[in-house]
Structure 1
Amino acid sequence: MLDPETRNAAARRNPVWLILAFAGSVAFWLALDFGIGTAANIGSGIFPLAFAAIIVVISLRSYAVPVEEEAEPWALRPLVAVAGAVLLFILLVEQVGLFPTIVVSMLVAYAGQVERNYWAFLLFAAAFAAAVWLIFVYALSVPLQFIGTS
């Protein structure tokens, strides 16, 4: 028979971690078909394999070591803001260009914050978007439009 402390620890284990570990295992198995490549020429499967392995390890560890305190309930506002920002980025990047898409996406994601200073963040988002554009266009030679379509 389990003592009360062990029983409470077992009750705090969240089965979602096992589901996530299973999903990571399936992703790992599927990523094996992509090919790992060699050290000199890394294949397309190395990153999915690595991420899937990390997901499995973290999930199993999180399930094995139960948390001591109760988790806080999820806040819906940040979740919706970040999901909306990702969706906006996907929908706008080819239509309006990289710079405005990054700025708008970052502002939408920032709306999920409780404390907001939009003007300071707008300056940061503009500087970040310009830096990203410079890196992708000049350093990586990716043909992306600053504003507008090609």
Structure 2
Amino acid sequence: MEFLKRYRDIYGVDGDEDQERRANSVVAFPTPQPAQRSDNAAAALNLVAEAAAAVRGLEEQAAEAIARARHLADALMKKLEVADARVEHAENKLRDAEAEVSQLTAASAEANNALSMLRQRLAAREAELAAAEKRAADAEAAIQNIVDAIRTQLPLAK
């Protein structure tokens, strides 16, 4: 209180004049009544509760979305693993088939070589046979000539 007395003495302000001056120069804000304060507090608490509920709802939606995304990722990983296994199996089958084709190609080439050799041997044998047949025909002809010569030289007994 001492401060107020000195303030009045220094600046020459009286209580009534001071109130009148303040009323003319300062905007007066309404002071909330006790009932109004509790309504405002209740409204603020309601807003905070609604905001918290909205945040919880968003968190739940986010958690559900994350769970769905994880489930989809897991399903895709399983499908990818199955696809990888199929690819690996197909690659193994392809390698086996290529190896078999290579073996069959080698066997075919070997068989072609053997067939070619057999054809050459057959041609040689056919040539030998033809020569033998010619010698046999020549020999038969010679024998027939000898037989004919003997018949002409010998008298026939009648």
Which category describes the TM-score, using the shorter chain as reference length?
Answer: under 0.3
The structure with more radius of gyration: 2
Higher helix proportion, which one? 2
Highest RCO, 1 vs 2 (Cα 8 Å, sep ≥ 6): 1
Normalised by the length of structure 1, the TM-score is 0.19
Normalised by the length of structure 2, the TM-score is 0.18
